[in-house]
A and B are shown apart, each in its own frame.
Chain A
Amino acid sequence: MVLVSFSGDMDKLFAVLSIATAAASMGIEVSIFSTFWGISALRRKRTYRGKSVLQRAMNFLLPSRAGRLPLSRRNLFGAGPVFFRHLMKTQRVPDVEELVRVAQEAGVRFIVCAMSMSLMGLTQEELVDGIEMGGAATCVNAMAKSKSSLFI
């Protein structure tokens, strides 16, 4: 199974990570290709060192880590995700950071689009460990071999 993780919205990333984790736990080989806004799910910190002014600006506008992701609807200027995270904590639903870790443990491969990384001025040290770098050809190759591919 191949999941293209394009969206940087917390709710959509839940769908990506839940499906991936379930599939991996059911013995299916799963690769998640994170590109564009989706890379934010794998982010653990923000650094400005060694980046151009535009890359720094882009970086400033992106969530600094997975715990700061917005919602696709009812974001309410950032209040939505706060309510959401509170509900998740009380109902013991794992958050995005936790789900990424669980997915990795379950055997999900995370491949990040190298082109988006440089466009957005992101470096690998800003992402969680265990992430591979790839391009469109890597993605297409995996999709061609896979029974199901999703773009979320």
Chain B
Amino acid sequence: MDVQLDCKHLKCPMPIVEMAKAVKGMKGGEMLRVESTDPAFEMDVKAWAEMTGHELVSFEPGEVKVARIRVA
């Protein structure tokens, strides 16, 4: 099952915290879609994926940034 996560208006480090929480309840191969307005989100989501082993499938920049992650 795919999970949507609304992290709009959350400031650093909260989007990462919410993502870690969401991933805990998910299985390998499932997709997590995260929306964020945090200016640091692009760098942070990449760093988070690298550290945790989850795969950042796509990233859309913009005012509302969208990251799609495949859970490892």
Residues of A bordering B, CB below 8 Å: 18, 21-22, 24-28, 91-94, 102, 105-106
Expressed in whole angstroms, the minimum distance between the Cβ of A13 and any Cβ of chain B is 14
List the 6 shortest-distance A-B pairs measured between CB atoms, nearest first. A25-B20, A26-B51, A22-B13, A25-B16, A93-B11, A25-B17
**Is A21 within 8 A of B13, CB to CB?**
yes
- Pairs A–B under 8 Å by Cβ, sample size 8: A25-B16, A25-B20, A26-B16, A26-B20, A26-B48, A92-B11, A93-B11, A102-B17
Does B12 sit at the interface, judged by CB under 8 A? yes
Known: A25-B17, A27-B20, A106-B20. 9 other contacts (CB 8 A): A18-B12, A21-B16, A21-B17, A25-B13, A25-B19, A26-B16, A27-B51, A28-B51, A94-B11
Expressed in whole angstroms, the minimum distance between the Cβ of A95 and any Cβ of chain B is 12
Residues of A within 8 A of B52 (CB): 26-27
Please, how many angstroms separate the alpha-carbon atoms of A48 and B60 in the complex?
55
The number of A-B residue pairs with CB atoms under 8 Å apart is 39
Residues of B within 8 A of A92 (CB): 9-11
Q: Which of B13, B14, B21 has the most CB of A within 10 A?
A: B13
Residues of B within 8 A of A25 (CB): 13, 16-17, 19-20, 48
Residues of A within 8 A of B11 (CB): 91-94
Residues of A within 8 A of B16 (CB): 21-22, 25-26
Please, how many angstroms separate the alpha-carbon atoms of A27 and B48 in the complex?
9
Please, how many angstroms separate the alpha-carbon atoms of A28 and B13 in the complex?
15
From A24, A26, A94, contact of B14 by CB (8 A): A94
Does B47 sit at the interface, judged by CB under 8 A? yes
From B9, B17, B48, contact of A106 by CB (8 A): B17
Expressed in whole angstroms, the minimum distance between the Cβ of A128 and any Cβ of chain B is 18
